[in-house]
Amino acid sequence: MNTAEIISKLPYSKPFLFVDELVSINENGVVGNYTFDANLDFYKGHFKDNPVTPGVILTEVMAQIGVVCLGIFLLNNKINKNTLIALTSNEIEFLKPVYPNEKVTVISEKIYFRFGKLKCKVKMLNAKNEEVCSGTIAGIIKI
């Protein structure tokens, strides 16, 4: 399965699709990118006159690239329209702000995948290669 096929199987659409490209993917992890469009609605109020990407959105980007894309890859062609995907836990530390129009890179390493549960160590880097947040995210994929 190529990276375009993986992205097409994501259960999200604009404006809640936070994956632009997958740079690399294998059974142990994934690297992908997303650029935050300055016109996204949440920038209008977070924060007034000084827009910053909310932490919950940064977590979602890491989950979509680092867990869901990897899970789709690991399950290969078993994913279908009835597949259920749910976040089960996350522990993220936020280190730097991410601003409108910034491109970020998510790097995810599989900790384990068993009984439909995928847990990954994830980190997000900005264009300067600085770590902006990191931690662990786990989710369940039920076919």
Quote the CA–CA distance of 11 and 24 in Å, as a whole number: 20
* 8 A C-beta contact, residue 65 and residue 22: yes
Q: Cite the beta strand spans of 1-143 per DSSP E.
A: 21-26, 29-35, 84-94, 103-114, 117-125, 131-142
* 8 A C-beta contact, residue 60 and residue 18: yes
- 13 contact partners, CB below 8 Å, separation of at least 6: none
Q: Which one is catalytic: 12, 21, 33, 46?
A: 46
46 is catalytic: yes
Residues recognised as catalytic: 46
